[in-house]
Amino acid sequence: MGLAKKELKLEQFSPNTPAETVLRSGLALANGPVTLACSFSKEDVALIDLVERLNLPVTVFALDTGRLPEETYAVAEALIQKYSLQIEWYAPDNLALQELLIAKGPLSFYESLENRKECCRIRKVEPLQKALAGKGGWITGLRREQGETRQELQPLEWDSSNGGLLKVSPLVFWNDTQLDDYIREHRLPVNRLYKEGYTSIGCAPCTRAIAEGEPARAGRWWWEDPTVKECGLHK
């Protein structure tokens, strides 16, 4: 990274630490420009609003996997109109995608965890690496409440899986009520699929609504063991 990593003082953060404080701390600690990863979830919409209100020097990028629901693109357009937002879009490598489709067909991800991770790698992980190239940090909408794979998340972490840059998760301690209250207070656009029982929205073939009492991420890769429900963007 060129510069020695600054020490993360995690003890300064508690569930009562404002998201604004985490954001500003992250920008101060990052060894280079910071970008916000937007999947157009409730969390990411709230983060974009925070960044805009604080006038922070943060860019915004999105991964177009080629399989996003129409409702997700509608949120993107609403954000562009609301904030005159410039979104940097990253797509899968066309040759790699064509080779996957020819070799295994369009639904190989249902067949095994290995195949699903291969699809995620081509459609999401490799584009993410391009988006983060040259960056000192990235902002995510991760929250501990989202599932058992995210229980140990910290507001600030050095992301070894992406070259050691700083990973900033300002909403890590927020619960659903806090998030919904913020969205309602600031009249932010929300994906229509949430009203249909979706609680975590990714690619259309890999996302479904959840039943009452199911965990928030039960609708993602629902045919898999819940302990492995990550696409590779977050190790």
Give the other-Cβ count within 10 Å of 195's Cβ.
10
Say which of 119, 203, 206, 231 is annotated catalytic: 231
Query: 13 Cβ partners below 8 Å, 6+ apart?
Result: 21, 22, 154, 155, 156
CA distances from 99 to 76, 96, 126 (A): 29, 5, 15
CA distance 116 to 34: 29
Active site residue 231: yes
What CA–CA distance (Å, rounded) separates 124 from 232? Answer: 8
Residue with tokens 């996302």: 207
Residues 6+ apart with CB under 8 A from 2: 31
Q: How far apart are CA 209 and CA 196, in angstroms?
A: 7
**Dihedral pair phi/psi, residue 85, rounded to 5°:** -75, 135
Instruction: For residue 145, give the nearest of 191, 193, 94, 179 by alpha carbon.
Output: 179
Which residues are designated catalytic? 231
